[in-house]
Structure 1
């Protein structure tokens, strides 16, 4: 068991643009402030094949509890259901946590 929960960062370089280094630093800062071990930051572009599969694979490989992103634009404006099922998603700006369900909701 890890001494602290694990997280990965995720951003799209086309969304960050010239602020990419700033976005990476903000992800690192927020992870540290919230007590996460930031295992890796995954940086993808608009032409990346199957980006959500890559994110899910990275979460699985690192056994991450959370994914930290600069803002919702990096996931196209909303958090994909398939991502929030496997890990909490935390946005830097505005700071918000989209928590996975510990118990599936009653339908």
Structure 2
């Protein structure tokens, strides 16, 4: 049997505010709906030094396949290139996926087959 891919819900407590429990439920629910296992949620505050690098470290420590965020506001308004090079990023609102690997439709067949 195959193991389910892993996703880590991530949020900023200062962005969520009083909605933090709801944001956690939303990110975990979307990850599970997409078929991911969810070992833990990561929540950093505005006082966290280098939160994106710390998130990347957490992703690598559990070999996660995706990070799920309530919205791009939790990542500073954009998906950091350094993050999407390591892991897929999924947003709850609006529901979108930012994939690590993008293969252009005009790529050679041997590239698309990978």
Common fold, TM-score beyond 0.5? yes
Alignment of structure 1 residues 31-42 onto 2, 5 Å:
31-42=31-42
Match of 2:80 in 1: 80
Structure that is richer in strand per residue: 1
Tell me how far 1:29 sits from its aligned partner: 0.6
Q: Distance in 2 between matches of 1:39 and 1:89?
A: 16
Label 1:95 to 1:33 Cα distance change in 2 as closer, same or farther (>3 A): same
Moved >3 Å (runs of 4+): none
Tell me how far 1:102 sits from its aligned partner: 5.9
Alignment of structure 1 residues 1-107 onto 2, 5 Å:
3-101=3-101
Runs of at least 5 residues in structure 2 that lack an aligned partner in the other structure: 104-114
Q: Distance in 2 between matches of 1:57 and 1:19?
A: 26
Aligned length: 103
TM-score (norm 1): 0.91
TM-score (norm 2): 0.86
